[in-house]
Amino acid sequence: MIRVIALRLIGAIPNLIGVVVVTFLLTRELPGDPAAFFAGAAATPEAVEQIREKLGLNKTLIEQFGLYLFDLARGDFGQSLSTGQPVLTELVQRLPASLELTFFALLLATIIALPLGIMAATRPGSWIDHLCRLITTAGVSLPTFFTGLLLAYVFYFLLGIAPSPLGRLDPVFSPPRPVTGMYLIDSLLAGEGALFRACLAQLILPAITMGVFVLAPLARMTRASMLGVLSSDFIRTARASGLASSTVLYTYAFRNALLPVVTTLGMVFSFLLGSNVLVEKVFAWPGIGSYAIESLTASDYAPIQGFVLTMGVLYVLLNLSIDLIYGLIDPRVGLEA
């Protein structure tokens, strides 16, 4: 298995190289001049040219790309012009916030979507089936920014039962000692129950906002996959053999229906990780999505390139994880396939 995993990772190298090349070229095509932006509106042409020379923007495209590759080989993602900090340092600081939000939203969506899809498939045409269709339709129809604003308005402004949607932690608390960078886990490791509850309270609304959106494809795929499996010959044989309904449903039907659900789970996870910028903006969540957008508006090349490359690496690891999960669910599906 280790050999197969190593081969998969080696095979992903051309994809990452393509990501590096395409991202570099696209960032150079962004409208605006970074040198003029950071020089200010009152800067003289000579001052703008000095900044351009300092940033290396006066070099040819090939020379800039060569310097970028040389820095990447040394593990240097460049420096953000907006913040003045190394890009790698800021990505490492912000990535746990995005991962924590994404994992928690996916957990909430999975807890609701899987049972809902199973019940809808076992009772087609019932009120549960219609409820499943209603929820999935609403989930894909409502924009995430609208859902987030609505939740913040209702639960924070009107009812006052949610904390202010301003970041990962209420200002009255200090962040936990960093271990993983995820506040929920770090507060548990530190044994601080009050801090854990405060972190969870801040996480609930943005996680529900994202979870509602991904609940729809998960529930819909679970329902469709279960309907297909439940009509199979081996399920009818299992029922005719006198097996308990729960055994037929969960041991045989659900396990065989799980592969397409896992595929959908991987797809929505990758989508959430790269496109949760709207939720991060609504709730002032300091993740990598908002970091990339802020850099994009400032024509700051290095953070954008670092963000896209980080996403590429995470997608490679995600696809590898899905392949491993396939093998655990169904041993007939090998990594060599």
| Dist. CA 103–CA 313, nearest whole Å | 17
Work out whether the CA dihedral 186, 309, 316, 66 comes out positive or negative: negative
pLDDT at residue 214 is higher than 80: yes
What is the average per-residue pLDDT within 252-264?
A: 84
What is the average per-residue pLDDT within 215-219?
A: 87
Give me the residue label for tokens 């924009």: 143
Backbone angles phi, psi at 79, to 5 degrees: -125, 135
What is the average per-residue pLDDT within 306-333?
A: 79
pLDDT at residue 331 is higher than 70: no
Work out whether the CA dihedral 160, 161, 163, 165 comes out positive or negative: negative
Work out whether the CA dihedral 209, 211, 214, 216 comes out positive or negative: negative
The pLDDT mean for the chain works out to 83
Residues 320, 8 contacting (CB under 8 angstroms)? yes
Alpha carbon separation from 192 to 119, 167, 185, 203 (Å, rounded):
38, 19, 10, 17
| Residue 19, pLDDT score | 83
Domains detected in the chain = 87-163+209-329 (1.10.3720.10)
Instruction: Report pTM.
Output: 0.82
Percent of the chain surpassing pLDDT 70: 93
**Which two structure tokens, joined as six digits, stand for 126?**
């019932």
| Dist. CA 46–CA 66, nearest whole Å | 26
The per-residue pLDDT for range 183-198, each reduced to its tens digit, is 999 999 988 889 999 9
DSSP-based three-state secondary structure for 324: helix
